[in-house]
Amino acid sequence: MRYGDFNAGVGTFCDLDSTEDTKELIRCIVSNADIGARQFARDVLLVFAAALIFFMQAGFAMLCAGCVRKKNVQNTMLKNLLDACGASIAYFLVGFAFSFGGMNTDSAEKTFIGKTNFFMKDVDDPAFWLFHYAFSAASATIVAGTLAERCQMVAYLCYSVVLTGWVYPIIVHAIWNSQGILSAFSVDPLWGVGMVDFAGSGVVHLTGGVTALFATSVLGPRRGRFHDEAGRRLAFPVEIPGHSAALQMLGTFILWFGWYGFNSGSALLIGNEHTGKLAALAAVNSTLAAGVAGVTALFANLWYLERTTGEAVFQLKYAMNGTLAGLVAVTGGCGVVEPWAAVVTGFVAGLFYLYGSRWLVKLRLDDAVDAIPVHMLNGMWGLIAVGLFASPRRLDMCYGRSVHPGWFYAIRRGEAGDMSLLCAQLVGILFICGWVFVFMLPFFIWLDWRGWFRADPLEELVGLDTSYHGGLALLVQHESIDPEYITAFKEQRRQSGLRRRNGMNRNTTSETIDELDENAEEEHEDDV
């Protein structure tokens, strides 16, 4: 008699003969049932974690909507929705295949890109696919807030597809695929340890943050941020406050909530007897880093303002973004560091965010939601923190090896020269920044050269909601818009419509358009 689980090879087969004791049969059935139950629990929890990560899209949308002016809210929220839609298509077509296609966990061969599983063909783990799709969508959404209030819809769709379909998957393959050149899951990892990025400080956040830096460098600042209407440089940059602090706070809490799926869900992919403990540890470390970073950023900014202006002000913006900075930083090591290290990571993350936010202003780079200091700087710090604080015990639980721990633990062992993990982390940072630089910076320059990147100045002045979504009726809702801009926008739309109807290009003079308009009116009168 032969008994076994027939579902996708799960379980073991037991060979029994008619004289075997009944207890052996029961033991075999229980063993297979236990394996099936664990697989079922893993799949269900992974789908739930993916749902939490996907819910972060709502957090990004609320945060971005609160940070922009009323005249751009609808446009900003639509772009967040399109991130989720575009990423699903790109990841279905090629993204997953480039990331994990043909992965062989038992092979020591290193590959640059996946070559199978296009269109989800032969993907036998849909929960795994869904989980990583949610990650790819999050990476693209990071860029959305940075470019708010001035980016064209065409450009947004183009870069979102390129990022999730090509640039991001190659980074995933290198770091999370067991055959990737930097992967800690590899049979033969780099320098015996590989790059450790437990839940994506580098893969997701650094990738999105560096992309946002290059994008805003090419796109330029919002009108009136660093220059006046005549184009003269302002001595002091003008703050452009968002219209709703309540939406920003709602978005922050939603993101914090979704981060438990981000970090604890990643522990489910470890798939060993320590999975539950690692998931709980990741949640604890995420909570500690977020709380410490938020408080640090708030009070460090308070101290800075008191020293420089003589007025101590509690600024909500720094508390919210500091919290997110702490979450970004701890994401890379939430499963491999002890709670005390998460506290240190969060403390430094709050300071890094504060410095990075002011550094951007000095460089005259306009980031509408401070995504660059939150995600880029603290994505880097999160990877470096792993190289400093990764615990040998936690590394063994995750990757089955602990010979090259974080540098602080190496010093404690008397092996101060063992910087293998820290060096691997630095190589990973250089790889991510270099890969994004090679593809995304030229791509943004090309978009700008084609005239597809920056919105028309008049469209920016009246608001992208009116320009792309709502028609002229929305203009009455925004009392801050100069009536002259409204009149000019109406005239521009009239001329644009006449050009389209008469097959003319953008260089056609306004006098010619006026003549056509007059002829059209005369013909209409004759018909009447």
SS3 assignment for 335-401: CCCCHHHHHHHHHHHHHHHHHHHHHHHHCCCCCCCCHHHHHHHHHHHHHHHHHHHCCHHHHHHHHCC
**pLDDT confidence of residue 267:** 93
**Alpha-carbon distance 285 to 172, whole Å?**
23
State the sign of the Cα–Cα–Cα–Cα dihedral 436, 52, 175, 104.
Answer: negative
Tokens representing 507 are 């260089």
Strand partners, 151: 454
Domain assignment present for 17: no
Q: How many CA atoms lie less than 13 Å away from 292 in the CB half-sphere?
A: 24
Tokens representing 354 are 């504060």
Domain assignment present for 527: no
**Alpha-carbon distance 263 to 326, whole Å?**
13
**Quick one: which of 374, 454, 349 has its CA closest to 212?**
374
Q: How do beta strands 14-15 and 2-3 pair? A: antiparallel
Helices (H), strands (E): how many in the chain? 20, 2
**Alpha-carbon distance 113 to 159, whole Å?**
20
For residue 206, CA distances in Å to 29, 446, 492 come to 47, 23, 40
**pLDDT confidence of residue 279:** 95
* Pair 327, 286: CB distance under 8 Å: yes
Number of other residues whose CB lies within 10 A of the CB of residue 218: 18
Per-residue pLDDT of the chain (528 residues; tens, 9 = 90+): 333 333 344 444 455 455 556 666 556 655 555 566 778 888 899 999 999 999 999 999 999 999 999 888 988 998 889 888 989 999 999 999 999 988 888 888 899 999 999 999 988 899 999 999 999 999 989 998 898 899 988 888 888 889 999 999 999 999 999 999 999 999 889 998 999 999 999 999 999 999 999 999 999 999 889 988 777 888 889 989 889 999 999 999 999 999 999 999 999 998 888 899 999 999 999 999 999 999 999 999 999 999 988 888 899 999 999 999 999 999 999 999 999 999 999 999 999 999 999 999 999 999 999 999 999 999 999 999 999 999 999 999 999 888 899 999 999 888 888 899 999 999 999 999 999 999 999 999 999 999 899 988 888 888 888 877 765 444 445 545 655 555 555 555 555 555 555 555 544 455 554 554 555 445 445 544
**Alpha-carbon distance 8 to 247, whole Å?**
46
Strand partners, 15: 2
**pLDDT confidence of residue 476:** 45
Q: Which long-range contacts (CB under 8 A, 24 or more apart) does 36-40 make?
A: 36/5, 36/7, 36/10, 36/11, 39/10
DSSP state of 311: -
Q: What CATH number corresponds to the domain at position 364? A: 1.10.3430.10
Total count of domains within the chain: 1
Domain assignment present for 353: yes
**pLDDT confidence of residue 290:** 97
Place of tokens 């060096």: 423
SS3 content of the chain, % helix, strand, coil (to 5): 70, 0, 30
* The residue type at 91: Y
DSSP state of 3: E
* Pair 289, 322: CB distance under 8 Å: no
Domain residue limits at 420: 29-457
**Alpha-carbon distance 333 to 336, whole Å?**
5
Number of other residues whose CB lies within 10 A of the CB of residue 351: 16
Domain assignment present for 466: no
Number of other residues whose CB lies within 10 A of the CB of residue 223: 17
Strand partners, 3: 14
345 φψ region: left (φ > 0), alpha (ψ -120 to 50), beta (else): alpha
For residue 128, CA distances in Å to 43, 270, 284 come to 8, 12, 24
**Alpha-carbon distance 467 to 488, whole Å?**
13
- Cα 481 to its chain centre, rounded Å, is 33
Tokens representing 499 are 């050009």
Q: Which residues of 244-254 are buried (b: 16+ CB within 10 A; e: fewer)?
A: beebbbbbbeb
**pLDDT confidence of residue 5:** 38
**pLDDT confidence of residue 271:** 80
**Alpha-carbon distance 198 to 193, whole Å?**
13
For residue 309, CA distances in Å to 274, 304, 306 come to 52, 8, 6
**Alpha-carbon distance 365 to 453, whole Å?**
16
Domain assignment present for 6: no
Ranges of H-type helices in 220-274: 245-267
- Provide Rg for the chain, Cα atoms: 27
Burial of 230 (0-12, 13-18, 19+ CB in 10 A): exposed
Domain assignment present for 4: no
Domain assignment present for 470: no
Tokens representing 174 are 């290198």
Domain assignment present for 511: no
**Alpha-carbon distance 66 to 76, whole Å?**
10
